[in-house]
Chains A and B, each alone.
Chain A
Amino acid sequence: MTRYVLRRLGISAVTVVGLVLVVFLVTRILPGDAAAARLGPEATAEDVAALRDRYGLDDPLLVQLGDYLARLAQGDLGQAVSTGRDVSTELFARFPATIELALAALVVALLIGIPLGVLAAARHGRVADGVARVYAVLGSSMAPFWLGLLLIFGLFSTLRWLPGPIGRLPVGVAPPPEITGMYVLDALLSGDPGTAGQALRYLALPALTLGIGASAAVVKMVRSALISTAGTGYVRTALAFGVPGREVLWRDRMRNAMLPILTSLGLVFSFLLGGNVIVEQLFSWPGMGRLAYDAVRANDLEILQGYAIVIGVVYIGLNVLIDLAYGLIDPRIRLGGRA
């Protein structure tokens, strides 16, 4: 097991280095002129030259890369061109808001996706299965910004059940004392259920928007993983011994379907992390995605490259966790020591 863990961590360390290299290449070299792209079409030649000088863009590439890596190793992602602020600090301050939203969306996705996927597999080929499949296709076909607008229109503008897209708390309500940075959790921890309830209501719409989109992928993977266990020897044997079908489904088939389900969770994470720019913009959610959106508006590649690295590292980290969870779930991997 130790060897398996070490090997997996080694591979992901290589991927992280590659990720940093790609971000560096994309933002420094590819454009032909990063400075010109950054300043926009109205910049004069002198402006561009000044900026190139300030960011060391005229240094040899290897020198630039060395500087960049040295700074990165100290957790320094540079200064935002548009605001002059420290990119690492800005991203770090907004990290909890993004994580809170992603976790809530994941809960929504699993709460909808797992029961619907199991239902589809249990009723394979029948009406319930068809409904679940149509749901899965519809869920992945709707643009998140459109789904978000529909939810806002229905649940806020028309029905007034949930608050509008104005951020994490109503205007004038003080955020709870910072413990994790996730408002719902912090408010509960500091014994303030009123604020927790409000934060939860503000969290609901963006979490539903991201979660419904992600639930489509969950339905698909749970369904197909369970269906592929249908004709296997152990299922036939259990049924022949008179074990009720429901019990076989939840105890034996579900367990064996866990590996493919876990693997495809990577897809869900990709959706949650990639979709957050759009959803955070739509709901004025002050997370990293919103920062990236502002950076896009201001043409600030410095912030965007920091954002890309953080998202990439989080994504790689989550996939490592998934792989390690394999070992916990499947003794063949744990004991065999193969990756």
Chain B
Amino acid sequence: MTAVEAVRTRVRRRRPFLWTGTGVLAVLIVLGLVGPFLVADPLAVDPVHALQSPSGAHWFGTDYYGRDVFARAVHAIRLDLMLGVSVALLALVIGSAVGVISGYLGGRVDDVLMRVTDVLMAFPGFVLAMILLLAIGESTPKLALALAVAAVPPFVRLVRAEALAQRELEYVDGAKVSGAGWLRIAFGHVLPNSLRPAAVQFTLVCGYSILNVAGLAYLGIGIHAPTPEWGVMVAEGAQNMLTGQWWTAFFPGLLIALTVMGLHFVGDDLGGDR
């Protein structure tokens, strides 16, 4: 290794965005796993102690019904993170399957699949998820499905672009010569080699999905009160914000921002943006 290369490696190793993001996410995951056993009941109503400002007893204060905002916010971590990850995972699975078929087969199949993707991209994702969810009826799995459908197009495009390049490589010819069928080549050989850009997109989609889950919940779609969920909590606290009790909506919104920020820091770094 030359001296210049050594310096470059050292600079590249200092990746503040990656480490900040990973750190934030690690804290959240631990808190999400352990927290629910340690904090108060998120649904326990206590009208006598309603709308108390943050204190030693209630770190994030209490809401209109006297529920502990910290307990609710901590209980929400698991739901929001799980939804974000499952939406992105679902979109990745659907999107990469469609993308690799489209890219590997090419021709007419590719044309049709790309037009369909164009149509899905003609909606802002939030609007598409909203009408999908209202049409198929609400439930948590359906919420994940609706958001995943809206998040599929970028995965299709990324995997397809990579598959287009991969199918020209020698190992594909090798697989053909050894008698593998197209399904096996596409999914067994080309797909694993085409996943990298989509994997980078994954953390970003997690972040957007958490924002969308919370946004829909804020509008009263998908997750409903009194479930502890960050969007629901902000919606419940919105009125208090106008009358001065800022903590009821501030803290759950802050957790959304921190979570999505952590995911974006990691995603930006892995995407090579330094």
**Measuring CB to CB, which residues of chain A are less than 8 angstroms from any residue of chain B?**
14-16, 18-19, 21-23, 26-27, 30-31, 34, 37, 133, 137-138, 140-146, 149-150, 152-153, 157, 164, 224, 270-271, 273-275, 277-278, 281-282, 292-293, 296-297, 299, 301, 304-305, 307-308, 311-312, 315-316
Contacts and interface: CB of A to CB of B under 8 A. Distances in A.
A223 to B, nearest CB: 9
B137 A278 contact: no
Interface string B122-164: 1111111011101111000000000000000000000000000
A143 B215 contact: yes
A301 B131 contact: yes
A143 B120 contact: no
A37 B1 CA distance: 66
A37 B127 contact: no
A281 B250 contact: no
Given A26-B135, A34-B135, A274-B127, A315 B260 contact: no
Main secondary structure of the interface of A (DSSP, over half): helix
Given A34-B135, A146-B256, A277-B127, A164 B242 contact: yes
A21 B211 CA distance: 28
A132 to B, nearest CB: 12
Given A31-B136, A143-B218, A304-B134, A311 B124 contact: yes
Given A23-B131, A299-B134, A141 B125 contact: no
Interface string B232-260: 00110010011110100110011011111
B207 A270 contact: no
A19 B122 contact: yes
B128 to A, nearest CB: 7
A281 B128 CA distance: 18
Given A277-B219, A312-B127, 14 more contacts: A15-B118, A16-B122, A18-B119, A30-B132, A143-B214, A143-B253, A143-B257, A145-B231, A145-B235, A152-B242, A270-B124, A270-B125, A296-B221, A308-B128
Interface stretch (B51-59, B83-91, B261-269): B261-269
A73 B266 CA distance: 47
Contact of B131 (A21, A281, A305): A305
Interface residues of B, number: 51
28 contacts: A15-B115, A18-B118, A18-B122, A19-B122, A26-B131, A30-B132, A31-B135, A34-B135, A133-B17, A141-B207, A143-B214, A144-B215, A145-B235, A146-B234, A146-B254, A146-B257, A149-B234, A157-B242, A224-B273, A275-B124, A277-B130, A278-B218, A292-B130, A296-B134, A301-B134, A304-B134, A308-B123, A312-B127
Interface in B174-229: 207, 211, 214-215, 218-221
B242 A37 contact: no
Q: Is the interface of B mostly helix, strand, loop or mixed?
A: helix
Contacts of A18: 115-116, 118-119, 122
Contacts of A316: 122
B134 to A, nearest CB: 6
B119 A311 contact: no
B193 to A, nearest CB: 25
A286 B38 CA distance: 45
A322 B184 CA distance: 40
A142 B137 contact: no
B234 A153 contact: no
Contacts of B256: 141-143, 146
A309 B48 CA distance: 49
Contact of B137 (A21, A31, A141, A273): A31
A238 B127 CA distance: 46
Contact of A19 (B123, B132, B219, B244): B123
Given A14-B115, A141-B261, A143-B211, A304 B130 contact: yes
A145 B246 CA distance: 14
A141 B260 contact: yes
Contacts of A22: 119-120
A37 B221 CA distance: 14
Contact of B253 (A14, A31, A146, A270): A146
Contacts of A16: 122
Nearest to B235: A145
Contacts of A133: 17, 268
Nearest to B268: A137
Interface in B72-109: none
Contacts of A30: 132, 135-136
Contacts of A278: 215, 218-219
Contacts of B17: 133
A138 B122 contact: no
